[in-house]
Amino acid sequence: MLTLDKFEEASEKVKEVTLETKLVYSDYLSEQTGNKVYLKPENMQFTGAYKVRGAYYKISTLSDEERKKGLITASAGNHAQGVAYAAKCYGAKAVIVMPTTTPLIKVNRTKSYGAEVVLHGNVYDEACAYALELAKKEGYTFIHPFDDLQVATGQGSIAMEIFKELPLVEYILVPIGGGGLATGVSTLAKLLNPKIKVIGVEPSGAACMQASLKEGKVVTLPKVNTIADGTAVKTPGSKIFPFLQKNIDEVITVDDDELIVAFLDMVENHKMIVENSGLLTVAALKHLKVKNKRVVSILSGGNMDVITMSSVVQHGLIFRDRIFSFSVLLPDKPGELSKVADVIAKSKGNVIKLEHNQFVTTNRSAAVELQITLESFGTEHKKEILKTLKDNGYDPKIVQTNL
């Protein structure tokens, strides 16, 4: 495994189940970062993520007897769909153990491919332990989501496609959860061009690979806490770890808040829905300390449920000052509300919500509190609105925005 011949074999095999995800040049991200940024949109795969590559290639290497036993895996969603779809292609039974926190869209899509779904545990590691118990008890063939060299070889087909389309690529950014994708991509990339830089990206609330590389051995985190559910892994793969030690040049961590902003970037500038784990490499672009390089960011998946999407959009607008709230004190007499509204209108602010509190003070004749939630064009516009209010005799105080 993980040889050039095997990567070539896997790259041909996965064509049977993958869609062509050509690189997308991003004018916006290139301008923002000073590099030539290309996106590898694996969120556009039929199953919504790259995981079908490793799952299908792995299952293709199994014997008929192994497939007849039934297949089992554990996954937060994308590998689950990959295994379920691949198993369906081979007419094999698939049992998928998923954490109870898995978004509903991933659960339903996994079931839609004919798989039996078992919800267990709060994080991937707990689901995996239970899946291994079931495999032993029922005799199922276990398909590991990342700590498997054949699975990693299948994932490496992404790097083959990147090189064919952009031979002079200099940097590849790859998300890391357990490390399977990063193993395949980094190993093949280094085989094709030893000078290339492969940067792994983890959520700061689940940075198990960064911790492991620093210690020189596989480390288990005491807990994980991130909105990037697909990469919320406590322990990276032990079989693939030596390959990552050799081939990953650096690991960047990004905060959840950065993922929220990256989501808006992708929606507004590329009309793409990318899940939080897939956004890791977009958020990491601003952390690169290089300029004028050809950079590819792998968007690993796009399976995000509508409720999560709605929450991310709202928080993203708040982080960008596109929506903000403030309070002002007004005399308790008719006409004062219209005066404030007039000032806001002339500043081109759009009122979303008003809350009028007459009981902020016992002296109602002195003041009542008005909390206003506004839509603006961004930070500079927000500052202009607040300045105009001050110039008109008001003293606006920023308060927490609750939509």
Residues 300, 325, 347, 376: which is the catalytic one?
300
The residues facing 198 across adjacent strands are 172
Based on the residue annotation, tell me whether 51 is a catalytic residue of this protein: yes
Using CA atoms, how far apart are residues 140 and 68, in angstroms rounded to an integer?
A: 9
Q: What counts of helices (H) and strands (E) characterise the chain?
A: 17, 14
Tell me how crowded residue 136 is: count the other CB atoms within 10 A of its CB.
10
Contact criterion met (CB below 8 Å) for 321 and 369: no
Structure token pair of residue 40 = 């590898």
Which of 110, 40, 34, 39 has the alpha carbon at shortest distance from 73? 110
Query: What is the DSSP secondary structure assignment for residue 140, as one 8-state letter?
Result: P
Which of 153, 164, 174, 181 has the alpha carbon at shortest distance from 4? 153
Based on the residue annotation, tell me whether 365 is a catalytic residue of this protein: no
Which of 197, 201, 200 has the alpha carbon at shortest distance from 171? 197
Which of 30, 115, 46, 105 has the alpha carbon at shortest distance from 80? 115
Phi, psi (deg, nearest 5) at residue 366: -85, -45
Using CA atoms, how far apart are residues 232 and 202, in angstroms rounded to an integer?
A: 9
Which of 241, 221, 247, 242 has the alpha carbon at shortest distance from 232? 221
**Residue partners of 242: CB distance under 8 A and separation at least 6:** none
Residues 51, 106, 197, 239: which is the catalytic one?
51
Contact criterion met (CB below 8 Å) for 17 and 46: yes
Per DSSP, helices labelled H in 241-374 are: 241-247, 256-270, 280-283, 306-319, 336-346
Q: Is 46 exposed, middle or buried (0-12, 13-18, 19+ CB in 10 A)?
A: exposed
Contact criterion met (CB below 8 Å) for 173 and 199: yes
Q: Which residues are catalytic?
A: 51, 300
